[in-house]
């Protein structure tokens, strides 16, 4: 296997602030260095694109009340909300079904949970937020990681005595399950 020759890379050549061309080595794909466009990919996921689009300094307090709605996302959020209402109406709630639903429509529910609250009322918001919280607890999301060590307020819907993440934590602590198994 031959070594990669760094000398074969082109010089970046982008115009710097001083007006001279950049002398750093560019990458293979587009010939630009990391300062002038090499390896800058931008947001690829839906979550990333939404995060980049919201500028709280520019938009102030109402950044979460987006003006330009993505029709697919709002349709998905309403579809997910209706399915969550159907699940709530059942006698026994299957948490894996809730988690699959929220995993599929996570971004849509996060984006439009306040709009659902505005149009369908507080009960609708509580259903959506309870489903999101249950999903985040079960998947051991970083922003709810503390729930393993402390008690969390019981949500009115989709509450489990112990989340999957907490079960795994306790099994590891007891030595029944090794970390390498996960």
Q: What is the pLDDT of residues 154-182, one digit of tens each?
A: 667 776 666 666 666 666 766 665 555 45
Confidence of residue 150 (pLDDT cuts 50, 70, 90): low
Question: Is residue 13 within 8 Å of 31, Cβ to Cβ?
Answer: yes
Is the model's pLDDT at 70 over the cut of 90?
no
Buried b (16+ CB within 10 A) or exposed e, 130-163: bbbbbbbbbebeeebeebbeeeeeebebbbbeeb
The 8-class DSSP code of residue 6 comes to G
Measured in degrees and rounded to the nearest 5, phi and psi for residue 165 equal -65, -40
Confidence of residue 14 (pLDDT cuts 50, 70, 90): confident
Contact partners, residue 49, CB within 8 Å, separation at least 6: 43
> Is residue 24 domain-resident?
no
Q: For residues 113 and 131, give the distance between their C-alpha atoms in angstroms, rounded to a whole number.
A: 11
> Is residue 3 domain-resident?
no
Confidence of residue 79 (pLDDT cuts 50, 70, 90): very high
> Is residue 90 domain-resident?
yes
pLDDT in tens, 44-69: 777 777 666 665 555 555 555 555 67
> Is residue 5 domain-resident?
no
Parent domain of 106: 71-181
> Is residue 1 domain-resident?
no
> Is residue 163 domain-resident?
yes
> Is residue 48 domain-resident?
no
Number of folded domains in the chain? 1
The 8-class DSSP code of residue 140 comes to T
pLDDT for the residue numbered 80: 95
Name the pTM for this structure: 0.59
pLDDT for the residue numbered 92: 83
| Tokens encoding 4 | 């990669």
Question: Is residue 113 within 8 Å of 121, Cβ to Cβ?
Answer: no
**Which is nearest to 129 in space by CA: 98, 93, 163, 168?**
98
Cross-strand pairs, 15: 21
> Is residue 13 domain-resident?
no
* Strongest mean pLDDT among 7-16, 93-102, 141-150: 93-102
pLDDT for the residue numbered 71: 85
Of the two residues 159 and 33, the one the predictor is more confident about is 33
**Which is nearest to 88 in space by CA: 123, 120, 113, 64?**
123
Of the two residues 140 and 1, the one the predictor is more confident about is 140
Is the model's pLDDT at 100 over the cut of 80?
yes
pLDDT for the residue numbered 163: 66
């Amino acid at each position: 296997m031959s070594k990669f020759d760094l000398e074969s890379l082109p010089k970046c050549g982008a115009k710097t602030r001083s007006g001279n061309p950049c002398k750093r080595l560019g990458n293979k794909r587009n010939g630009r260095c990391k300062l002038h466009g090499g390896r800058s990919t931008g947001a690829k996921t839906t979550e990333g694109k939404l995060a980049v689009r919201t500028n709280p300094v520019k938009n102030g307090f109402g950044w979460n009340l987006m003006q330009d709605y993505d029709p697919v996302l709002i349709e998905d959020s309403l579809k997910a909300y209706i399915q969550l209402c159907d699940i709530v109406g059942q006698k026994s709630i299957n948490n894996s079904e809730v988690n699959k639903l929220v995993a599929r429509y996570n971004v849509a529910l996060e984006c439009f949970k306040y709009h659902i609250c505005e149009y369908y009322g507080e009960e609708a918001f509580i259903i959506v937020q309870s489903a999101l919280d249950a999903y985040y607890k079960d998947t051991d999301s970083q922003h709810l990681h503390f729930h393993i060590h402390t008690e969390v307020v019981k949500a009115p819907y989709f509450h489990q005595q112990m989340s999957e993440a907490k079960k795994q934590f306790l099994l590891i602590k007891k030595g029944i399950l090794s970390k390498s198994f996960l």
